[in-house]
Amino acid sequence: MSKVLVAPSILSADFNHLLDDIKKVEEAGADWLHFDVMDGHFVPNISFGIPVLKCIAHSHKMVNDVHIMISDPFKYAPEFIKAGAEYLTFHYEACKSDKEVFQVIDLIHDYGAKAGLSIKPGTPLEKVFPFLYSLDLVLIMSVEPGFGGQKYIPESFTKIFRLKEYLESHEIKKCLIEVDGGINEETAKNAKLAGVDVLVAGSYLFGHDDIKERIEKLR
């Protein structure tokens, strides 16, 4: 079984020393950098956007894994890719129809990035099935999107497990499974057992002196 990838979420970073924190997780062995965009409309919080991504995207060698928790992803996707997003993950619930989901996926590919689709805890897994042949990643939210430091929702195991089963039974090889929210040493075991490929972790990593050990514990 290939090693799980670790994607620190900078939502939990120290914004007085953002670049230092990014270097710390990179030197500690992180694979991706998870960039949580919140618009205060799709989710009840506002984080950061395109100017910040532009500033940091090329300041490290990790993969820029951008998670847009925003309304109207079709409108903003190109700007996030031009700013440095390599994976751009939008929300199923932010689209009005399956047709719109396909349009956003195609747009992301047209701009040269990999397309991810995320579902909230309350959205049934079956909603992503029609898109799996087109997607590069599915992001399973294991907390209600909007804030770091929340508790992992245990039912996420079943969603990851069933998604893995579906991908394998349909021989869909290129679509990765990422989990996001409440990931720590314990919950990472649960998600890995279910078949996850990428672990997002914010508060478990940032603000601690033993980031390298923590990343190794996640793996």
33 or 163: CB nearest Zn ion: 33
Give the C-alpha separation, 87 to 108, whole Å: 9
Choose the catalytic residue: 21, 31, 136, 180.
Answer: 180
Distances in whole angstroms, Cα of residue 4 to Cα of each of 56, 83, 134, 200: 24, 27, 22, 11
180 is catalytic: yes
Choose the catalytic residue: 36, 65, 136, 197.
Answer: 36
36 is catalytic: yes
Site for ligand DX5 in 128-187 (CB under 6 A): 143, 145-150, 180-183
- Planar angle of CA 73, 159, 186, nearest 5 degrees: 105
Site for ligand DX5 in 77-136 (CB under 6 A): none
* Strand stretches in the chain, DSSP E: 5-8, 32-38, 63-69, 87-91, 114-119, 137-141, 176-180, 198-201
Site for Zn ion in 45-84 (CB under 5 A): 67
Residue nearest to ligand DX5 (CB): 202
Edge-first strand order for the sheet with 5-8 is 5-8, 198-201, 176-180, 137-141, 114-119, 87-91, 63-69, 32-38
Site for ligand DX5 in 27-66 (CB under 6 A): 34, 36
163 or 191: CB nearest ligand DX5: 191
Residue positions annotated with a catalytic role: 36, 180
Contacts to ligand DX5 by CB under 6 A: 9, 11-12, 34, 36, 67, 69, 143, 145-150, 180-183, 200-204
Contacts to Zn ion by CB under 5 A: 36, 67, 180
